[in-house]
Amino acid sequence: MANVRGDADEVEQVRRHKREVRRDLLAVRAAMAGDEVAQAARAIERRALELPELASLEAGATVAAYVSVGREPGTAGLLAALRARGVRVLLPVLMADLDLDWAVFEGAGRLRETDYAGGARLLEPRGPRLGRQAVCEADAVLLPGVAVDRRGVRLGRGGGSFDRALARLAAAGGDRALVALVYGHEVVDELPSEPHDRPVGVAVTPEGVHRFSPGFPETAEDR
């Protein structure tokens, strides 16, 4: 019983630490000026499109991504550029249990604003729902995050939606790029993590590209 209680206390301590880190980093985002956010979005778009994992994709390849909201690093230009290249872009649709369904991105004009409990307001695709497993069709996945550490551990918003998608990808197997889009100050030395947290291979910031490999130090590509 003592071990069970000790494990539960340790898990709660990690989750509390996550909440604190998330709160502090989101406060920094909230203070960013609009022109700073727009400039960062353009830089991230350019760097992401230059990634070999995306640049090498042929027309008809699939990328799972997301529509940025608020002060998240902007994805509007990136989504449009991928679609213009003939890439099939899948976007998430939040379900009642916070899991993700998916639908094809058909252009900005085919997005609709959806309000969710807790005040969340998301832009989601209007097209047919493809099911939770559709993410496994992706050749590369672009992920939101509040921060990424130098092991590739990603800190999300706390709902676990993308964690479930990443678990499906891991179960399906295959070699696909997992790319987080964050601001430069959000690449940190170490984040609190739990066993279900799945590391990403790449983080793109306005300032550079960070690559993570298990057992190897992080490398940065500043261009």
Q: What is the pLDDT of residue 43?
A: 98
pLDDT band (50, 70, 90) for residue 216: very low
Convert the pLDDT of each residue in 163-185 to its tens digit: 999 999 999 998 899 999 999 99
* Beta-strand pair 202-204/111-115: unpaired
Q: What is the pLDDT of residue 139?
A: 97
Convert the pLDDT of each residue in 46-83 to its tens digit: 999 999 999 999 999 999 999 999 999 999 999 999 99
**Of 89, 14, 103, 5, which is closest to residue 49 (Cα–Cα)?**
89
Averaged pLDDT, 186-195:
92
Question: What ranges do the domains of the chain cover?
Answer: 2-221
Instruction: Check whether 192 has a pLDDT greater than 80.
Output: yes
Convert the pLDDT of each residue in 79-119 to its tens digit: 999 999 999 999 999 999 999 999 999 999 999 998 876 66
Q: What is the mean pLDDT of the chain?
A: 91
Q: Where are the beta strands (DSSP E) in the chain?
A: 62-64, 88-94, 100-104, 111-115, 121-125, 140-144, 147-149, 154-155, 177-181, 187-188, 202-204, 209-213, 216-221
How large a percentage of the chain has pLDDT more than 90?
76
Averaged pLDDT, 196-216:
87
pLDDT band (50, 70, 90) for residue 157: confident
pLDDT band (50, 70, 90) for residue 122: confident
* CATH no. of 2-221: 3.40.50.10420
Cα–Cα dist 124/111, whole Å: 5
Using DSSP's 3-state secondary structure scheme, residue 62 falls into: strand
Convert the pLDDT of each residue in 6-35 to its tens digit: 677 888 898 899 999 999 999 999 999 999
How large a percentage of the chain has pLDDT more than 70?
91
